[in-house]
């Protein structure tokens, strides 16, 4: 009976297994083997857990957990194309080159008395005088109005030859009403042909654009004209002239540098078209 604790009377102390405390395992050490009492308690706990598991499974089946909704990424706003990045700047030229600009080509100007088949176009420059240009545009508009009246008179004469109404006492009310309707539609057609027919177009590029807009504003203030402005761009060709470098012997110039210099290049300039017509 050695190894058992005894009281003062010599009787063996009863062992209290419920109050045994499990010493915590120190760090970096192996956990001690469980005693018989702890194994019995562990087996009983495992049986209790095993009995409770079916109820938990039933609850899971009856109330299935909803799958977690994945957060949909917000679509990024589409970036607008940058106009500045699309426009490529012209390469820089060396110091021994000069640029000569070619004049913009355009067809010959028609006479003020030409038909409506040839558009009336005026090319405005930065040095165009204001008052003489106004008079020239007004003269073109006057000729356009004359041609419209002449065409309307020719149409009326043709309608009279076909069959004009005469007050001979034998007119019918239906014929009179038809004649009035035809006359009203003819007059409206003449007005529409004048307003939507020929127009005087002012074209300007670069520094001449403000002058063309000033002319359009002046005719818009008159009240008897319709002004329309259209913006655009024009491509022009420039010639590049290469001069010999000073202070350099012949043959010392790099051939690769000369090959990189183009003979011509294209540049884009802004343009405006101001259309002026009668109401």
The tens digit of pLDDT for each residue in 59-116 reads: 444 555 555 555 566 666 555 555 544 667 777 888 888 888 888 888 888 887 887 7
Q: Which residues of 20-52 are buried (b: 16+ CB within 10 A; e: fewer)?
A: eeeeeeeeeeeeeeeeeeeeeeeeeeeeeeeee
Top mean pLDDT of 19-33, 197-211, 242-256 is at: 197-211
Please compute the mean of the pLDDT values over residues 45-64 and round it to a whole number: 48
Query: What CATH number has the domain bearing residue 208?
Result: 3.30.110.20
23 falls within a domain:
no
Backbone angles phi, psi at 267, to 5 degrees: -125, 155
- Per DSSP, the chain holds a count of helices (H) and strands (E) of 6, 5
- Closest by CA to 104, choosing from 125, 77, 79, is 125
128 falls within a domain:
yes
**Predicted TM-score (pTM) above 0.95:** no
Encode pLDDT of 19-28 as tens digits: 445 556 666 6
Q: Pick the more confident residue, 65 or 146.
A: 146
Domain extent at residue 223? 91-149+197-245+260-278
- Token digits of residue 65: 């957990």
135 has a pLDDT exceeding 80: yes
33 falls within a domain:
no
Please compute the mean of the pLDDT values over residues 246-275 and round it to a whole number: 72
Q: Which DSSP helix (H) or strand (E) runs through 85?
A: helix 83-86
- What is the number of domains present in the chain? 1
Per the CB < 8 A criterion, the answer to whether 222 and 142 are in contact is no
Query: What is the pLDDT, as a whole number, of residue 247?
Result: 47
- How much is the mean pLDDT over the chain? 73
């Amino acid at each position: 009976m050695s190894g058992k604790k005894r009281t003062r009377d010599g009787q063996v102390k009863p062992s209290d297994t419920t109050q045994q405390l499990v010493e915590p395992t120190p760090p970096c050490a192996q956990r001690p083997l469980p005693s018989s009492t702890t194994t019995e308690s562990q087996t009983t706990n495992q049986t209790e857990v095993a009995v409770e598991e079916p109820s938990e499974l039933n609850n899971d089946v009856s109330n299935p957990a909803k799958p977690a909704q994945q957060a949909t990424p917000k679509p990024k706003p589409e970036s607008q194309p940058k106009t500045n990045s699309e426009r490529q700047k012209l390469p820089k030229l060396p110091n021994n080159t000069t640029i000569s600009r070619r004049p913009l080509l355009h067809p010959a100007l028609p006479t003020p008395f030409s038909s409506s088949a040839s558009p009336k176009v005026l090319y405005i420059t930065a040095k165009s005088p204001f008052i003489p240009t106004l008079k020239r545009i007004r003269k073109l508009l006057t000729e356009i109005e004359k041609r419209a009246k002449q065409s309307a008179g020719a149409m009326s004469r043709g309608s009279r030859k076909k069959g004009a109404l005469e007050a001979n006492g034998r007119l019918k009310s239906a014929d009179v009403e038809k004649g009035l309707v035809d006359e009203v539609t003819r007059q409206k057609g003449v007005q529409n042909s004048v307003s939507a027919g020929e127009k005087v177009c002012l074209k300007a590029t670069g520094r001449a654009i403000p002058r063309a807009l000033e002319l359009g504003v002046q005719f818009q203030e008159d009240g008897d004209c319709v002004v329309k402005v259209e913006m655009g761009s024009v491509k022009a060709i420039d010639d590049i002239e290469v001069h010999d470098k000073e202070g350099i012997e012949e043959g010392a110039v790099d051939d690769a540098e000369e090959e990189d210099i183009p003979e011509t290049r294209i540049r884009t300039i802004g343009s405006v078209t101001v259309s002026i017509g009668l109401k």
